[in-house]
Every structure is written in C-alpha cells, then in structure tokens.
Chains A and B, each alone.
Chain A
Amino acid sequence: MTPVIRADGLTRRFGSFTAVDHVSFSVEAGEVVGYLGPNGSGKTTTLRMLLGLLRPSEGRAEVLGYNTDREADKIRGRVGYMSQKFALYHELTVRENLEFYGGLYGVRKNGRVEETLSNLELEQLQNERVAVLSSGWRQRLALGVAIIHQPQLLFLDEPSSGVDPVTRRNFWEVIYRLAATGITVMVTTHYMDEAEYCQRVGIMQGGRLLAMDSPEHLKATLPGQVWEVHTPSLMEAFRVLERMPGIRRVGLSSDYLRAVSEREITPETIQRELSRHGIEEVEIHTTRASLEDVFLFLAGSSI
C-alpha cells in the first residue's frame, strides 16, 4: 500500500534562510502523526508544502499519491486543513461557516452540516456568530470546517494554540474518534502532552527532522538516565550540574531539576558533586524519560 504522505528531501528556503532542510518521512493510512518542535522550526512550512500552498525549493512530496507541486488540485478536495489562525468568518454564524466551506468543497449531501454539528457537539451554538465564541468553541468549529467534506487526510497546524488544557484534551478525544473512522491525521504542536497522544512523533528543530518514531521508542532510545533533583537551592544546583562532566543536560522543571546523564553516573556521584559546592540538602531519584527529555536532548545535541 502506498503511504498517504511521502516526503523526500523536502526543502524550502526563504532568501538565505532555510526553513525546512531536507526532510524525509512517510505516513501510513490511519496513523495519527505528530510533528513536534518550537515555533519557527519549520513545522508550518512543511505542512504548507504538503498542501501545495508553497513550492519546495528542493526535494518532492506526494500526498495521497499525487505530487504536491504539480497536482495540488487533485489533493485539495481530499484533504482537510485547519490552520493556526482559525480560518473562520466572524460575521457569520457557526452554521453559516460550515455551509460556506461545505459549498466550496461541493458538498451537496443533505444533512452533512447537521452531522458535523452533532459530531462536534456544536448544535446548541449553530446560530451564534463566531465573534462571540470562546477560543475552545472556535477550535471545534475550525475542525468542523476542515472535515465538512469528509477528507481522507487531515492536517492540523497547532490546533491548540491559545486553548486551555481541558479543552485540549476534549479536542483530542474528537481527533481519536475521527482516526477511528480511518482518517489519517498529521498534527503539528509544541505541546509535549499533545505529542504523547500521537502514534508517531517527528521532532523538528531548525528546519531538520531529528527523529520520527513512537513516543515509547523515542524515550527508550534516549541514551542515559533521567534524574529528578529536589533541593531548596535550585539555581545553585543548576549551575553546578550544568558544568558537571557526565551530565548531558539539565533543565528546570517546576520546583525541581531534571538532569539527563550518561549511564555511569549514579545518584551518589551527583550528591558528592553538589556537596563539594556546599549544597547538602538534596534528594535524588531516577525517573522515566519524557518526550520533553528526548526533545531537549536531541535539540541540544543538534546545535
């Protein structure tokens, strides 16, 4: 079976700046794939190339078997796209927005708007103007707009920007309901928890795709140990660990430090090093690697 998305050395330059740098990957039908990276790492540019909105400077991509550069017309009716700015008309009501986009996709099927309204639990709000909706409901509606024509493939570009965590979780339940019907989903995010929901996650940094694998595999491949270091002297400890040989990276995580070390490092060696600098009140335990550790580790070693 041909992959739903295949990118091959996809590159995009804006002047002397390379936004996307030789990115290759493929996505199979029915997958929910995340694309994780900080702002400006090339996630949106990649999506825009896959949608035929931007031309690749180099390399090529196929979506649903069509070349994105030459056959964008064939791709457009079959994919859905939810852009970062929810592309909604504020003067129109919820229903009018759905009807409008449905019309553009040539949806003549009776009841498709009602079906979408009920799938997204938007019936109550159907006659409200978008201008008065909260960002959570706008997110829902933007998703509705992207799926009104029942696409085979759905691109979501930072769907959760500006949306609170509870709404975010509900949103992902909707995404999984969609995926269960066989839709392939590719979603960009800079939220680690969101990436955890995905079957596979690609990690982007500086325009390059550093890794792409399931969250479990990514965590398992992290070389070394992850430690939680609890101490009242957080900043002092941070500065010490930063310079300690064998510590690959250290980061502040709410009220404790998170350190990724080489395998040889033990809690005792860390304790000794801290105490050598006069930090005595320390509690150290090992913990499981998170996606954030993987991301920070990969991003750190790629610079």
Chain B
Amino acid sequence: MVNLRLVSLIRKEFIQIVRDPRTLALTFVFPLVMLFLLGYAATNDVKNISLAVLDQDRSAESRRFLDAFRTADYFHLDFFVSSEEEIRSLIDSNQARAGMIIPPGYADHLTGGRNAQVAFILDGSDPTVASTALAAANLIGQAYSTRVLAMRMNRVGQGSGLDMPLEVRTQVLYNPGMESAHYMIPGMIGMILQFLTTLLTATSIVRERERGTIEQLIVTPLRRWEMILGKLAPYVFIAFFDTLEVLSAGVLFFKVPINGSLGLLLGLAALFLVTTLGIGLLISTVAHTQQEAMLTTMFTVLPSIFLSGFFFPLAAMPRILQWISYLVPLRYFLIIVRGIVLKGVGLAAIWPEVLALSVFALVVMTGAAIRYRKRLD
C-alpha cells in the first residue's frame, strides 16, 4: 500500500518549489549560470599576454628573436615603445602585463660569439598570469639560445645539423588539451550538489519552523522517518536533475568527454547526497530563521569548497590544511567525479573515496536523525 503520509508531504514540497520563483531560479538557472561563468571566465589557461617591447637594437637578429615570441601563443606583441618609462606606465595602467627590452648592441654580441642579454619585466600582481608568462619567456629564450648555440657550432664545423643530445617526449593522459573547463565542470557538479541540497534542505525545514507549520506537522501522525524522507526526497530529485543538466551542458558547450560510467557516477552522487542533505538537516536543527540557515550554509560550504581542491590543488597547500581537507566530503567526491568523467575509471580505482563518503553519510545522517526530534523542546 502506498504511504499516503509520505506521498502527501512530497507532493506538497513540489508544489511549494514550483510556485516559488526564487527557489526555481536557484534550482534550475543557477547551476547553468555557474557552469558558463566557470567554463568561460574562470579559466586558468593563460594566453595572449599583452607584451610591450622596447627594441633598442633594431637589427635583423632582434626582430628574429621577437618573432620567436610572436609565434608562441602566450604573448601578444601589442606595444612597441621607445623608452623604459613607457613600459612601466603601460604596466601600471594594466594595458600591458609584461615588457621586454632588447638593449643596443644585441646583434653585435650575438654574432660576435659573446653573451647577449635581454630584459623581461613582469607584472606579478596576478600570480597565475605572471608564472605562466615567466615560464613561457624562459622557455622561448632557452629554445632560442639553443638554436643560436647550434648555429655557432655549425659554423666552426663541429656540429652537423641541429641534433640535440636529449629530448623529453611528453604524453598527456586524459585531458590532452589540458583545458581547465574539462577539469572544472565535473568538479562543479560536486560543488552545486553540495551547495544546493544543503541550502534548500536547511531553508525548507527552517521555513516550516518560521511559519509555525512545523508544530502542526508534529501533531499529525506523520512519523519521524517519513518527515525526514519526505522533506529530503524532492531535493534528491532536483540534485539528479541538476547533475544531468550540468553534465549535458558540459558535453554540449565545452566538449567535456564522459569517459566513465554514467550509472556509477549517479550512484555515487546519491551517496554524496546523503551527506549533503544530512548537513542541511543538521543546519536546520540549529538555525531559527531562513536567514540564519543561509548564513550557516555559507559558512559550512564556502570553506569546504576551498579545502576540497575545487579551485586550488590540495598538494600545494600547507600540511595542516591538507589534513583538515580529509574532513571535507566534497574532496572525496571531486576525486570520484573527476576520475569517472575525465579518466573513465571504475570502482577499483576510487574505492577508498567511496568508503570515506560512506562513513560520512552514515555519521552525518545518524547525527541529523538523532537531533531532528518530533518535539519542540
């Protein structure tokens, strides 16, 4: 027989969600907005760094060196200036991110077999851009000087051709284009699941308390497990919808390949949801108003995003933060979702994370169920 109490509660929740424009926007539009923002704007792939050039040598050699920079994707030679001050002022006004000075006598030094120097000036305020620019400039410089060296040896008759003694052959597995979007979008599923389910569960329960309807629910024969399940079920549904929504948009617009099993991904998303819904339930037991619930959710979710490895690699963090990150459920889910989507791995590769999530699910739900009483005191 159908559980009429449970069905009634779930039906009521859905009516409330569908008739509240704010909840609707948060549930269905917000994930897409986040996806496009992160997919397009928050990319770590630094390209087209604006470069200001002061070429005081004006020789064929200096132009050849500049060509090496021009052909690499990293730089855009936007400005040719006539003084060092101009470079500084372009960087100060954010028109250029880096500057290069080729001093007079560059060609003479080079052809004369001596050591030629080139200055590279960098705006370090954005470390991501700066480190990419620095690495790129070094690399282009080294490659260029290797070529010069080889040519010199050729000229004295020692070398034959441009054979290098060592070559590192790299092969990038899984995301060969190393595109940030491919890495960020699966992670976003985790972030959105956590944020939305925790927030919506907490506020929907606290709203009942704020309006005084919780008292009325308690005096009905609705059992505690029915109340919990009825309150959570609609958000499980929404969470799965959002997961598929984000994945589809990721595949369609950002060409994210789904290499692993979608079924496994959804199954483990369900496991992760037990924890996030449980956290929402726990928050609802301490918050008295919807505003309090929202703030508490922020305080819980935001740090966990930073400690999960969503934006910043965990391996680069201080040891103490790495330890704390073991307490963040999202950390495990990110490994799982990135593993399945990008690497196409199965359970065998991610079972420790699955185990960790299971422990979280058990602990959080038990705690929430104990705290969530069918009484007012």
Which residue in B16, B218, B219, B375 is a CB contact (below 8 Å) of A89?
B16
Which residue in A87, A90, A105 is a CB contact (below 8 Å) of B221?
A105
- The minimal Cβ–Cβ distance linking B217 to chain A, given in whole angstroms, is 7
Q: B288 near A: Cβ within 8 Å?
A: no
Residue of A nearest to B226 (CB): A104
Q: Report the stretch among B59-67, B208-216, B340-348 that lies at the interface.
A: B208-216
Which residue in A85, A86, A103, A145 is a CB contact (below 8 Å) of B4?
A103
Q: A262 near B: Cβ within 8 Å?
A: no
* 1/0 contact string of A36-51 vs chain B (CB within 8 Å): 0000000000001001
Q: CA A40 – CA B222 in complex, angstroms?
A: 30
Q: CA A103 – CA B15 in complex, angstroms?
A: 15
Q: CA A135 – CA B258 in complex, angstroms?
A: 55
Q: B125 near A: Cβ within 8 Å?
A: no
Q: A169 near B: Cβ within 8 Å?
A: no
Chain A residues whose CB sits within 8 angstroms of the CB of B220 once the complex forms = 76-77, 101, 104-105
Which residue in B5, B211, B212 is a CB contact (below 8 Å) of A103?
B5
Q: A285 near B: Cβ within 8 Å?
A: no
- The minimal Cβ–Cβ distance linking A242 to chain B, given in whole angstroms, is 41
A79 touches B375 (CB 8 A): no
Q: B115 near A: Cβ within 8 Å?
A: no
* 1/0 contact string of B1-34 vs chain A (CB within 8 Å): 0001101110110011001100000000000000
Chain A residues whose CB sits within 8 angstroms of the CB of B219 once the complex forms = 51-53, 76, 79, 81
Say whether, besides A79-B219, A91-B16, A48 and B376 are in contact (CB < 8 Å).
yes
Q: CA A206 – CA B113 in complex, angstroms?
A: 103
Q: CA A89 – CA B207 in complex, angstroms?
A: 10
* 1/0 contact string of B239-269 vs chain A (CB within 8 Å): 0000000000000000000000000000000
Say whether, besides A76-B219, A91-B19, A100 and B12 are in contact (CB < 8 Å).
yes
Say whether, besides A89-B16, A91-B20, A92-B12, A104 and B377 are in contact (CB < 8 Å).
no
B19 touches A55 (CB 8 A): no
Q: CA A89 – CA B7 in complex, angstroms?
A: 17
Q: A214 near B: Cβ within 8 Å?
A: no
Chain B residues whose CB sits within 8 angstroms of the CB of A103 once the complex forms = 4-5, 7-9, 11
B377 touches A54 (CB 8 A): yes
- The minimal Cβ–Cβ distance linking B30 to chain A, given in whole angstroms, is 20
* 1/0 contact string of B360-377 vs chain A (CB within 8 Å): 000000000000000111
Residue of A nearest to B18 (CB): A91
A53 touches B15 (CB 8 A): no
Chain A residues whose CB sits within 8 angstroms of the CB of B221 once the complex forms = 73, 76-77, 104-106
Q: CA A76 – CA B226 in complex, angstroms?
A: 15
Q: CA A88 – CA B16 in complex, angstroms?
A: 12
Residue of A nearest to B19 (CB): A91
Residue of A nearest to B227 (CB): A104
Q: A271 near B: Cβ within 8 Å?
A: no
Chain B residues whose CB sits within 8 angstroms of the CB of A73 once the complex forms = 221
Q: CA A81 – CA B221 in complex, angstroms?
A: 12
Which residue in B11, B216, B375 is a CB contact (below 8 Å) of A101?
B216
- The minimal Cβ–Cβ distance linking A78 to chain B, given in whole angstroms, is 9
A87 touches B215 (CB 8 A): yes
B8 touches A104 (CB 8 A): yes
Q: CA A85 – CA B9 in complex, angstroms?
A: 20
Chain B residues whose CB sits within 8 angstroms of the CB of A54 once the complex forms = 375-377
Chain B residues whose CB sits within 8 angstroms of the CB of A88 once the complex forms = 213
B216 touches A100 (CB 8 A): no
- The minimal Cβ–Cβ distance linking A153 to chain B, given in whole angstroms, is 12
Q: Which of A98-149 contact B (CB under 8 A)?
A: 99-106, 108, 145
Q: CA A77 – CA B223 in complex, angstroms?
A: 11
Chain B residues whose CB sits within 8 angstroms of the CB of A102 once the complex forms = 8
Chain A residues whose CB sits within 8 angstroms of the CB of B7 once the complex forms = 103
Q: CA A284 – CA B344 in complex, angstroms?
A: 97
A96 touches B376 (CB 8 A): no
- The minimal Cβ–Cβ distance linking B18 to chain A, given in whole angstroms, is 9
Q: CA A52 – CA B218 in complex, angstroms?
A: 9
Listed residue (A52, A73, A76, A104) with the most chain B CB atoms within 10 angstroms of its CB: A104
Q: CA A244 – CA B83 in complex, angstroms?
A: 103
Q: A290 near B: Cβ within 8 Å?
A: no
A108 touches B4 (CB 8 A): yes
* 1/0 contact string of B289-304 vs chain A (CB within 8 Å): 0000000000000000
- The minimal Cβ–Cβ distance linking B205 to chain A, given in whole angstroms, is 14
Q: CA A103 – CA B376 in complex, angstroms?
A: 23
Listed residue (B12, B215, B220, B221) with the most chain A CB atoms within 10 angstroms of its CB: B220
Chain B residues whose CB sits within 8 angstroms of the CB of A106 once the complex forms = 4-5, 221
Which residue in B15, B212, B215 is a CB contact (below 8 Å) of A91?
B15
* 1/0 contact string of A184-217 vs chain B (CB within 8 Å): 0000000000000000000000000000000000
B15 touches A83 (CB 8 A): no
Chain A residues whose CB sits within 8 angstroms of the CB of B12 once the complex forms = 89, 92, 96, 100
Q: CA A291 – CA B350 in complex, angstroms?
A: 75
Which residue in B9, B16, B222, B376 is a CB contact (below 8 Å) of A92?
B16
* 1/0 contact string of B59-98 vs chain A (CB within 8 Å): 0000000000000000000000000000000000000000
A81 touches B376 (CB 8 A): no
- The minimal Cβ–Cβ distance linking B19 to chain A, given in whole angstroms, is 4
> Lowest 8 CB-CB distances: which A-B pairs, in order?
A103-B8, A85-B212, A87-B216, A104-B220, A91-B19, A87-B213, A77-B221, A81-B219
11 contacts between A and B (CB under 8 A): A54-B376, A81-B216, A83-B215, A84-B212, A85-B211, A87-B217, A92-B12, A101-B216, A103-B7, A104-B222, A105-B221
Write the residues of chain A forming the contact surface with B, with a CB cutoff of 8 angstroms: 48, 51-55, 73, 76-77, 79, 81, 83-92, 96, 99-106, 108, 145
Write the residues of chain B forming the contact surface with A, with a CB cutoff of 8 angstroms: 4-5, 7-9, 11-12, 15-16, 19-20, 211-213, 215-222, 375-377
Known: A81-B215, A89-B213. 7 other contacts (CB 8 A): A53-B215, A76-B221, A89-B16, A89-B211, A91-B19, A101-B216, A103-B11
